[in-house]
């Protein structure tokens, strides 16, 4: 159980896990149990606490964050661990993309759809612009046997590149690409 009170518009917390915790002194100092209501809202002494979308703190010189929409998110322990609501002045939206906090003004951008297919021309130009085209040739040359022969035929004679084809799934790790980076490569290719 985390105990809390609101001081100067800030939530102050205490926990039985804290060194020297004294329940009687905590309650006498105006702290109340930080509770979750039946409707899922958090309250301190009956006062609803507005949950921010993202909480952050500095850990070893880097920003650590907790997203309120994550499974298992616990507001009292988050605040007690020193996390505070993350806000960017004049930002109207916040999002976490690949564990990076992104903020902006105006309407939040629509997520970009990953094209399932791009032309071979688009794929090769995107690979060239990202410095990966020569690595594709080397990866294909290193494949042995029937698998390698079929991969080289597909690469040389296909008119399109499909995101979920075995060739793409085979080449992505050889190029050191994560699924996210592969999606970004297809998004880039679709613009060319």
**Domains of the chain, residue spans:** 3-104, 117-190
Residue 166 has pLDDT above 70, yes or no: yes
Question: What is the per-residue burial (b if ≥16 Cβ within 10 Å, else e) of 27-48?
Answer: eeeebbebbeeeeeebbbeeee
Torsion of CA 140, 144, 146, 152, to 10 degrees: 10
Contact 123, 192 (CB under 8 A): no
The residues pairing with 66 across neighbouring beta strands, listed in sequence order, are 55
> Nearest 5°: phi and psi at 134?
-65, -30
Query: pLDDT tens digits, residue range 123-155?
Result: 999 999 999 998 998 999 988 899 889 999 999
Residue 104 has what pLDDT? 64
Mean pLDDT of 10-24: 87
Instruction: Return the structure tokens found at 72.
Output: 């298992």
Report pLDDT for 64: 77
| pLDDT for 108 | 62
CA dihedral 27, 24, 37, 78 (to 10 degrees): 80
Which residue has better confidence, 35 or 166? 166
Q: How far is CA 78 from CA 29, 177, 186, in A?
A: 21, 33, 37
Global pTM reads: 0.47
Which residues, in sequence order, are CB contacts of 168 under 8 Å at separation 6+? 161, 162, 182
Tell me what pLDDT residue 55 has.
Answer: 78
The whole-number pLDDT of residue 91 equals 60
What span, in angstroms and rounded, lies between the C-alpha atoms of 59 and 56? 9
Report helix, strand or coil for 27. helix
62-116: per-residue pLDDT in tens? 777 777 777 777 788 888 788 877 766 566 665 665 555 566 666 666 667 889 9
Confidence of residue 5 (pLDDT cuts 50, 70, 90): confident
Cβ–Cβ < 8 Å for 57, 82 = yes
Q: Which pair of tokens denotes residue 123?
A: 């794929």
Please state, rounded to an integer, the average pLDDT across all residues of the chain: 82
């Amino acid at each position: 159980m985390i105990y809390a009170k609101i001081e100067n518009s800030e939530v102050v917390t205490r926990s039985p896990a804290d060194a020297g915790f004294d329940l009687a002194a905590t309650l006498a100092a105006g702290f109340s149990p930080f509770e979750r209501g039946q409707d899922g809202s958090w309250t301190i002494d009956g006062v609803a606490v507005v949950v921010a979308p993202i909480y952050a703190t500095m850990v070893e010189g880097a920003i650590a964050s907790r997203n309120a929409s994550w499974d298992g998110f616990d507001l009292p322990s988050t605040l007690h661990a020193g996390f505070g609501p993350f806000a960017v002045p004049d930002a109207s939206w916040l999002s976490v993309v690949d564990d990076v906090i992104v903020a902006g003004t105006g309407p939040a951008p629509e997520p970009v759809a990953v094209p399932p297919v791009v032309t071979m021309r688009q794929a090769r130009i995107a690979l060239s612009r990202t410095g990966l085209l020569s690595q594709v040739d080397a990866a294909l040359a290193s494949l042995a046997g029937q698998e390698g022969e079929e991969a080289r035929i597909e690469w040389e004679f296909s008119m399109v590149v499909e995101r979920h084809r075995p060739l793409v799934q085979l080449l992505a790790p050889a190029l050191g690409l994560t699924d996210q980076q592969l999606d970004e490569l297809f998004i880039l290719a679709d613009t060319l």
